[in-house]
Amino acid sequence: MAKDLPVDRRFDAYQDFVLGCKLAWTRSLYPALRAHYAEAVAAADAPPASAADVAALLKDDPLNQYFGWFERHLQRMKYSGRHGLAPHFAAQRAELEDELAAGAESGILTLDPAFEQPAYYVAIDIHQHPGGVWSDEVAGYVYERGARTTTPLLEEDADLHHRFTREVMARATNPRRLVDLGCGFGKSSRPFYNKHRELDVTGVELSAPCLKLAARTAVQDQARNVRFRQADSADTGLEAGAYDVVTSTMVLHEMPPSHIERTIQESFRLLVPGGLSIHLDFLTDQDPFRRFIHYGHSARNNEPFMPPLNEMDLEGAHRRAGFETFEVVPFAEMPGTLDPAFTAWRFPWTMIIARKPA
């Protein structure tokens, strides 16, 4: 990389390189490891019955070791390398804090100066994000830029968040008020408030830096139908029985099971009779290899609650909260990803859908 390139171009080139490596890991290394695993199973005395069995089978396999090393260190490079996300945005702190002021002063954002973060949330740097998404004023910018490799900015018909918004609105019955739990920097809320101006949207999030960026984006969009609130998804402080839809995107897997159960109970409390709860998250099937890969990603990406979510009795948790109907539906985050011919690595995107009795 040429040293005389402008700083932003060096950053963009570095991040593009990391993304290119990740795509190679996704599209080439993963199918190769899957084929390698099939050969190992054919030579084994008995097929693996669990993720632990797969881990034991591939423990000393060089390709498996390389696959895991590649993922762990690409993520580290993305966030903390020479031109990583954290140092890049930290260098622009003063300018970015001025930008965030527009959202903070807009009247659509409610922060709680006395808010105490849950212990589980501050105990680990999720995604290998230094300090987490809550501890630094520019952390929302870091998270937003980093998320582009997880939920790419695609054309609207292919974009994950627009696709999920359409799924939600197709299932909801004449919705007027919606709560988006764990809204982060607002990417999950944005299609709701931009595409459905008649809908009153409330985004709830733990991270003040993310909320400030969400509010700034909504101000730029000239949105009049959205509010953002710093609160815990398990205890939002919002009015009971007042919302037609409660939703979340990639939030449940970042909580311990006890918090997930409380969030499900809070979803029920917020909904009107007949209201819809729909959470988009990651639930892999019983295939031992896919579970092994998913649980390995959990460890390498500092997301320890992925396996517990996958093993929870989610239907039981919803029934205990009072929900009447429950279903789990696979979700295609991009066109073609549920096709059996799709061989690249992907998150096991799943919609967890329940409805409050009418």
Inform me whether the pLDDT recorded for 2 exceeds 50. no
Alpha helices in the chain (DSSP H): 7-24, 30-43, 51-57, 62-80, 85-90, 93-104, 119-122, 139-147, 160-171, 190-195, 208-220, 257-270, 288-300, 306-311, 314-321
- For residue 300, the model assigns a pLDDT of 97
pLDDT above 70 (res 94)? yes
Band (pLDDT 50/70/90 cuts) for residue 7 is low
Report the pLDDT value the prediction gives residue 4, as an integer from 0 to 100.
42
The answer to whether the CB of 323 falls within 8 A of the CB of 339 is no
Query: Tell me: the pLDDT tens digits for 113-153?
Result: 999 999 999 999 999 999 999 999 999 999 999 998 776 66
Burial of 135 from C-beta contacts in 10 A (0-12 / 13-18 / 19+) = middle
User: Above pLDDT 90, what percent of the chain?
Assistant: 91
Whole-model pTM over 0.85 = yes
Q: State how far the Cα of 89 lies from the Cα of 129, in Å rounded to an integer.
A: 12
